[in-house]
Amino acid sequence: MGYCVYILRCSDGTLYTGISNNIIRRVVMHNRGRGAKYTRTRRPVTLVYMEDTPNKGYALRRELAIKRLTKQSKDELIAAYQEGIERMNVLNTVRARRNIKQFTSAEVAEKDWMEWLQAAAYAPNHHMAEPWQVQVVGPETRARLHHKTDFGGAPLVLAILAAPGKSDLEERENLIATSCFIQNFSLIAHEAGAGTRWSSVGSTHAMREVLEVPEGFQVVGVLATGYPAEVPDAKPRSPIVEKVHLLP
């Protein structure tokens, strides 16, 4: 595997430049506090620039050149990179998102996850019903859920509910729209360097009571949210041609 040069934006707004031959694993290690002394106290970090190089020697020289740039020049380099990859971001995000099993202890800032939720609300929904409701699970509620892995140690747990409908059709529409809302949130979290784990732990009557689910609402999923300690490999998908049927 070839080497790349990368730039991380730290939680305090500063930039860190390094090289790696496995960028996904390297970012995970930084967010676990095992990537570099500089980033250890400035977590979480977000990957904002990456440049492939032909070999390790070139990567080291390029790293040094970037480190010598002014902050303004680095920001310009990052901006140009972000503009260049913008068209591919959606495809890459969809393909790279994973259901995360284990998380670091690094907190997700409330302003961040609230922003992700607000953006997720642009999910398609019939008649602008916006049928989703979010229950933020506190420590006492979390303990009563008795999740077998405690949600992989995620620092944030959200229960996503779908509102009841006035008919069976509206009920299904609300469920579908809320699922789109969850997918949006998961993709946005992934793009920000975080991840989610979609659990069905809230599906039983007992767990509905623990989550204080209003009458008629459905628990679509309970989302563990945080920064990944491990990123699972992608599981193969069927060729889409097998799922496409042409009608006369």
pLDDT, position 5:
95
- Express as a percent the part of the chain with pLDDT over 90: 83
pLDDT digit string, tens, across residues 1-20:
589 999 999 999 999 999 99
Instruction: Say how far apart CA 214 and CA 29 lie, in whole Å.
Output: 40
Q: How confident is the model at residue 82 (pLDDT cuts 50, 70, 90)?
A: confident
- Express as a percent the part of the chain with pLDDT over 70: 98
Look up residue 38 and give its two tokens. Answer: 């500089």
For residues 45, 29, 191, 179, the Cα torsion angle rounded to the nearest 10 degrees is -120
Instruction: Give the 3-state secondary structure of residue 35.
Output: coil
Q: What is the mean pLDDT of residues 69-73?
A: 92
- Is the pLDDT score of 85 beyond 90? no
Instruction: Say how far apart CA 13 and CA 11 lie, in whole Å.
Output: 5
Domains of the chain: 4-96 (3.40.1440), 110-226 (3.40.109.10)
pLDDT digit string, tens, across residues 146-184:
999 999 999 999 999 999 999 999 999 999 999 999 999
Q: How confident is the model at residue 66 (pLDDT cuts 50, 70, 90)?
A: very high
pLDDT, position 87:
61
pLDDT, position 2:
82
Instruction: Say how far apart CA 79 and CA 159 lie, in whole Å.
Output: 35
Look up residue 8 and give its two tokens. Answer: 């991380």
pLDDT, position 86:
64
pLDDT, position 122:
96
Instruction: Say how far apart CA 126 and CA 143 lie, in whole Å.
Output: 36
pLDDT, position 93:
84
Q: What is the mean pLDDT of residues 47-71?
A: 92
Q: How confident is the model at residue 96 (pLDDT cuts 50, 70, 90)?
A: confident
- Is the pLDDT score of 62 beyond 80? yes
- Is the pLDDT score of 88 beyond 70? no
Q: What is the mean pLDDT of residues 231-238?
A: 89
Is residue 9 within 8 Å of 50, Cβ to Cβ? no
Q: Are strands 132-136 and 156-162 parallel, antiparallel or unpaired?
A: antiparallel
Q: How confident is the model at residue 91 (pLDDT cuts 50, 70, 90)?
A: confident
Is residue 100 within 8 Å of 196, Cβ to Cβ? yes
Mean pLDDT of the chain: 93
In degrees rounded to 5, what are phi and psi of residue 24?
Answer: -60, -50
